[in-house]
């Protein structure tokens, strides 16, 4: 069963945030947990008026009242709050402080995606939250404009790391709850990091010839292990640049949700925000759930 005992949704009331709110509301309804909606008022770099903060607070109250009405319509326990950033604080730092205080199971944020300026919600706020939050972060992009989501097909990429297995466990939970098909995908990259397939160096003359066979064997082993727990899981092996392959696969196979780990096999965030994960989030045709390490995985920060 999907258990999200608390969801945090930071909003700036933009269209991107409204799309993310639709998803946050749906997930709160599906899991039965409460939804916290947070708005942060930042001090402008240029003083617009003496009563800027007061006016911003009144406008935010009106917007939050609108969101509370929508929560009542869905019978979701929805609370709202406003935080005013201090002189040395940012929206991101306030959101992270709020998450540290309330410890939500999930943070739901929106991005402007590839059709815009590839800037995330509230500038770079969502990127900072996704990078620094200890909680899992669910990111909704421009490509999803249909309102409440429907999860029929979930994609979970793997690099066979402990963190990838943790993300796959999360994907199986979501798959069970929504009765969704689950696709496990490994991308065979042109220049993968040494040691990823248990081989010493990429310069080993036999390395190139053994990589695909080794990857297939490991993928098959993972698949067989998981089939008892998730009969609807399917394993796939593709070649190419990881982010591009994941996005193309999601587009071509009508994937509704992409779930991936934030840390990979190298121990330094192979799916580092700024590389694969960030590229996927910016270009994915569906929401992306970034799964943070579980305590047993250790901390690779």
Instruction: Answer yes or no: is pLDDT of 262 > 90.
Output: no
pTM for the full model?
Answer: 0.85
Number of domains, the chain: 2
Does residue 191 sit in the same domain as residue 85?
A: no
User: What are the helix and strand counts (H, E) for the chain?
Assistant: 8, 10
At 85, is the pLDDT very low, low, confident or very high (cuts 50, 70, 90)? very high
Does residue 222 sit in the same domain as residue 251?
A: yes
Does residue 160 sit in the same domain as residue 96?
A: no
Percent of the chain with pLDDT over 90: 46
Q: How many CB atoms lie within 10 A of CB 102?
A: 15
Does residue 158 sit in the same domain as residue 281?
A: yes
Query: What CATH number should be reported for the domain holding residue 234?
Result: 3.40.50.620
Q: Which tokens hold the place of 41?
A: 């008022």
Worst-scoring range by mean pLDDT, 196-200, 210-214, 243-247? 196-200
Structural domain including 98 reads 7-140
CA-to-CA distance for 93 and 97, rounded, in angstroms?
A: 6
Does residue 169 sit in the same domain as residue 134?
A: no
> In the block, which residue shows the tokens 């007061």?
54
The strand pair at 233-239 and 181-188 is best described as parallel
């Amino acid at each position: 069963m999907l258990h999200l005992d608390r969801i945090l949704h930071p909003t700036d009331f933009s269209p991107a945030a409204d799309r993310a709110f639709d998803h946050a509301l749906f997930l709160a309804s599906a899991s039965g947990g409460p939804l916290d909606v947070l708005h942060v008022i930042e001090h402008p770099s240029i003083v617009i008026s003496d009563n800027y903060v007061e006016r911003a607070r009144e406008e935010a109250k009106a917007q939050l009242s609108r969101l509370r009405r929508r929560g009542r319509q869905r019978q979701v326990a929805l609370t709202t709050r406003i935080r005013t950033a201090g002189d040395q604080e940012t929206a991101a730092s306030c959101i992270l402080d709020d998450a540290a205080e309330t410890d939500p199971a999930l943070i739901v944020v929106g991005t402007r995606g590839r059709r815009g300026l590839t800037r995330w919600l509230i500038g770079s706020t969502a990127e900072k939250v996704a990078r620094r939050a200890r909680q899992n972060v669910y990111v909704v992009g421009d490509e999803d404009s249909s309102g409440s989501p429907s999860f029929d097909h979930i994609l979970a990429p793997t690099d066979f790391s402990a963190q990838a297995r943790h993300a796959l466990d999360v994907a199986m939970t979501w798959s069970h709850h929504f009765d969704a098909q689950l696709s496990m995908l490994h991308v065979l990259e042109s220049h993968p990091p040494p040691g990823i397939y248990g081989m010493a160096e990429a310069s080993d003359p036999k390395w190139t010839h053994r990589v695909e066979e080794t990857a297939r064997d490991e993928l098959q082993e993972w698949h067989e292990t998981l089939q008892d727990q998730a009969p609807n899981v399917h394993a796939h092996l593709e070649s190419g640049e990881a982010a591009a392959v994941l996005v193309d696969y999601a587009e071509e196979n009508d994937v509704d949700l992409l779930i991936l780990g934030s840390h990979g096999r190298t121990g330094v965030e192979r799916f580092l925000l700024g590389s694969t994960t960030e590229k996927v989030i910016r270009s994915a045709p569906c929401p992306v759930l970034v799964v943070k390490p579980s305590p047993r995985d250790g901390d690779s920060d």
